[in-house]
Amino acid sequence: MKGFDDKELKNIERYLDKLRIKERDQDDRKIFAEVLDKRTLITLYKLSKKYIQALGGVVSTGKEANVFYADGLVDGEEMPLAVKIYRIETSEFHKMEDYLFGDKRFDMKKISKKTIIYIWAEKEFRNLQKAYQEGVNVPRPVHYLKNILLMEFLGEDEIPSPSLFDLRKNLADFVNPKDLLEEILENVERLVVSAELVHADLSEYNILLHNGKPYFIDMGQAVLLDHPNSISFLERDLKNISRFFEKFGLKFDAGEFLSELMNKIEVER
């Protein structure tokens, strides 16, 4: 480890210990130990100096990333944060390549295996930034460094807002499904027409219902409209939405909406 010997690293670990506000259970501690390899620990330590007041518990453990809660500090204001830490030793990174090649923002010729993960975090940050600026409902991006992304935490009391998948059985108790579908499509339109992005993994798993509104999360794989596969990704996204809302007796023609979107893109250009 460049610049840090074992003693310094112990200090960092102690510092991070102090950051953890609550005594976590055995499983949480195991996950911390598993994902916070030395390199990631140092990155988290650097980020924490500026943005993290207290590190909370595990929100989610996934194939590509783990998400933690943190009491954040952004521009002098307290703000709950989601800390998304991409696994460096991810087994899924080959899939990432499909979404990176063809993206003119990243020169793939010069990139090593390890760097792909860092680029992935940067890509999610930039996608979120672009979407957020265009008024799409996404968590506000805060900062990224190497394999760690900080963003607004969508939830309350450290509990993340539910996904549409979580609510599939009792969605109608929380929201009018027809209104929700409309709002999702408005957000898709803003994402595609104004931000010129396609989510490319949109489904009930990556839409959270937060304060009664749909929010798109997990934007790492989102691509620019000029990506060679963007339209087929968009079609797949729309079909996922259509399939989900069918269960609520709502008819929505993904193909028709895709054509409408294509027309609007043409007009914008």
Ligand X SMILES: Nc1ncnc2c1ncn2[C@@H]1O[C@H](COP(=O)(O)OP(=O)(O)OP(=O)(O)O)[C@@H](O)[C@H]1O
How near is the Cβ of 205 to Mg ion at its closest, in Å?
Answer: 5
Among 56, 57, 139, 141, binds ligand X (CB under 6 A): 139
- Nearer to ligand X among residue 84 and residue 227 (C-beta): 84
- Rounded Cα gap, residues 72 and 78, in angstroms: 6
Residue 241: both structure tokens together:
């939405």
Segment 158 to 187, residues that bind ligand X, using CB under 6 A: 160, 163
Residues with a known catalytic role: 201, 218
How near is the Cβ of 81 to ligand X at its closest, in Å?
Answer: 8
How near is the Cβ of 16 to Mg ion at its closest, in Å?
Answer: 25
How near is the Cβ of 153 to ligand X at its closest, in Å?
Answer: 5
x/- track of binding to ligand X for residues 181-220 (CB under 6 A): -------------------------x----------xx--
* Among Mg ion, ligand X, none, residue 163 binds (CB under 5-8 Å by kind): ligand X
- Rounded Cα gap, residues 128 and 107, in angstroms: 20
- Rounded Cα gap, residues 174 and 131, in angstroms: 26
Q: Which residue has the tokens 């003119």?
A: 104
- Residue 122 and residue 134 in contact, taking contact as beta carbons nearer than 8 Å: no
Q: CA 155, 156, 159, 161 torsion: positive or negative?
A: negative
Q: How many CB atoms lie within 10 A of CB 85?
A: 20
DSSP 8-state secondary structure symbol assigned to residue 101? T
x/- track of binding to ligand X for residues 73-112 (CB under 6 A): ---------x-x----------------------------
- Rounded Cα gap, residues 124 and 65, in angstroms: 12
Q: Is 119 in the site for ligand X (CB under 6 A)?
A: no
Residue 199: both structure tokens together:
């989510």
- Residue 250 and residue 201 in contact, taking contact as beta carbons nearer than 8 Å: no
Task: With contacts defined by CB under 6 A, name the span among 9-17, 57-65, 108-116, 222-230 that binds ligand X.
Answer: 57-65
- Nearer to Mg ion among residue 218 and residue 237 (C-beta): 218
Q: How many CB atoms lie within 10 A of CB 140?
A: 15
Positions in the binding site for ligand X (CB under 6 A): 59-60, 62-65, 67, 82, 84, 139, 151-155, 160, 163, 206, 217-218
